[in-house]
Amino acid sequence: MKVAVVLVSFSIGGAEKRYYNLIKHLASRTNWNITLYVNHSLHQALVTRLGALPKSVEVVYVYRGTGAACFDRLDFFIYGASWNRLLPKGLRRYLHFGLYRLRHLMLKLFGRSYWPKTEGAYDVIHWLFLKPPGRKYSIGPGIVYSIFSTAIRQIARKTNVFTEAVDKNVCFDILSPDLREGILEVTQGAGAERMLASPCSFIDYSNTRIETKKNLIAFSGRLHRIKNPLLFVEAIGMICEKRDDVEFIIMGHGPLEAEVRSRLEELGVMDRVKVGHESNPVEVLSKAMVFVSLQNINNYPSQALIEAMACGCAVVASDEGETHLLVNKNTGVLVSLAANEVADAVIRMIDNPGWAQDLGVAGRELVTRSHTVERYADHLQKVYQLAIRTKDSLSNEG
């Protein structure tokens, strides 16, 4: 099977890590001919973080020339550089939108872009974002879209992109059953036979471990409103009022970082909290007693959450969506999106370390048994086979 996988992003999140590791697995365990279309900065960051792909995988950089390189740097400058927290949130948004438009202009003037050819070269083209920019659908190869963001449901209600994709016989690889149901609401049931929800997620468990736990509470993820980092900050203030032997770490960057730091300063707890990128999360999580995940719509199947459970963290998570599939009475505590409930659950775990460690051990057993790359690869193979059958049926009709 000849497969083109298109992965374009300007930061490394759970989806980027998951599919990069999946490509490594498929390249080493199958005879598929895989080509990865990726932007240069993301590829270099993934290689540094996760290691090189097998030599059998061809890597093609989708953006080349001055325009693409400049946009990579400018995008990081707006969202990743420390100075951005000095700007008002609205101004940051306008600047980023302006840079996005500038990118298109610079590519026209100076750069070039390369995308998979839609006729004859591949059996399947797998797009790891919602819609190829500036490209029309093609029935040449089988087309697969991966949907892995809960925010897509809001986007979809404002656009016709799902309906258009369904009409053009695109097949969907969807991260969770709940997300699939949300998409079917948008399409009013159309295309259900071509929407396959994955049975699990996965991470690379080879470096995960459980070490001696200490009173360390961890939060990991992009500092965005959907992740509720400011709610966690309020809970930190409440915990610090009752316990002076607890430390905290917030691993991540994002548009709310300035507000997070400012509020920690206001609460007078900044000296007990570390905020920012962590190059080796496992080193932190293996020692952390509690992991907190407070997403608005669904914590399932968060890469950060699975990684924390694999490192034996007891979990406090918002009771949203399908979170209960990972966090139950045996692995953690589900709470509403209220700071006092989060704080109370964390304090209960700190007060009862034996119970917290039992939750962590059970959590590790759950994810390492059920959330594996082998299960996910089997699912993806079914999606690809469905895409090829769909393509063949259209060809026969033609």
DSSP string, 193-254: GGEEE-S-----GGG------EEEEEEES--SGGG-HHHHHHHHHHHHHH-SS-EEEEE---
Domains and CATH numbers, the chain: 2-62+114-202+373-397 (3.40.50.2000), 205-370 (3.40.50.2000)
Whole-number pLDDT of residue 99: 64
Q: pLDDT category, 53, cuts 50, 70, 90?
A: very high
Of 78 and 391, the structure prediction assigns the larger pLDDT to: 391
- The verdict on pTM exceeding 0.85 is no
Q: Average the pLDDT over 154-164 and give the result.
A: 58
Whole-number pLDDT of residue 374: 97
Query: In whole angstroms, what is the distance from residue 102 CA to residue 246 CA?
Result: 46
- Residues 267, 271, 276: CA angle, nearest 5 degrees: 95
Whole-number pLDDT of residue 183: 84
Query: In whole angstroms, what is the distance from residue 293 CA to residue 289 CA?
Result: 14
Whole-number pLDDT of residue 83: 52
Give the range among 122-126, 317-321, 366-370, 389-393 with minimum mean pLDDT.
389-393
Q: Average the pLDDT over 9-33 and give the result.
A: 90
Residue 71 has pLDDT above 70, yes or no: no
Whole-number pLDDT of residue 135: 46
Whole-number pLDDT of residue 87: 65
Q: pLDDT category, 398, cuts 50, 70, 90?
A: low
Average pLDDT, the chain: 86
Whole-number pLDDT of residue 93: 64
Q: pLDDT category, 75, cuts 50, 70, 90?
A: low
Q: pLDDT category, 394, cuts 50, 70, 90?
A: confident
Q: pLDDT category, 148, cuts 50, 70, 90?
A: confident
Whole-number pLDDT of residue 133: 43
The DSSP code for 87 is S
User: For residue range 278-319, what is the model confidence (pLDDT) as tens digits?
Assistant: 989 999 999 999 999 999 989 999 999 999 999 999 999 999
* One-letter identity of residue 122: Y
- Residues 237, 81, 282: CA angle, nearest 5 degrees: 60
Q: Average the pLDDT over 8-12 and give the result.
A: 75
**Nearest by Cα to 374 from 202, 207, 128:** 202
Whole-number pLDDT of residue 136: 47
Query: In whole angstroms, what is the distance from residue 249 CA to residue 276 CA?
Result: 8
Whole-number pLDDT of residue 134: 42
- Ramachandran assignment for 216, one of left (phi > 0), alpha (psi -120 to 50 degrees), beta (any other): beta
- Provide the 10 A C-beta neighbour count for residue 367: 25
Residue 152 has pLDDT above 80, yes or no: no
Q: Average the pLDDT over 144-165 and give the result.
A: 66
* One-letter identity of residue 200: C
Q: Is the peptide bond preceding residue 301 cis, with omega within 30 degrees of 0?
A: yes
Of 398 and 133, the structure prediction assigns the larger pLDDT to: 398
User: For residue range 163-219, what is the model confidence (pLDDT) as tens digits?
Assistant: 767 777 889 999 999 889 888 888 888 899 999 999 999 999 999 999 999 999 999
Query: In whole angstroms, what is the distance from residue 378 CA to residue 366 CA?
Result: 19
Residue 63 has pLDDT above 60, yes or no: yes
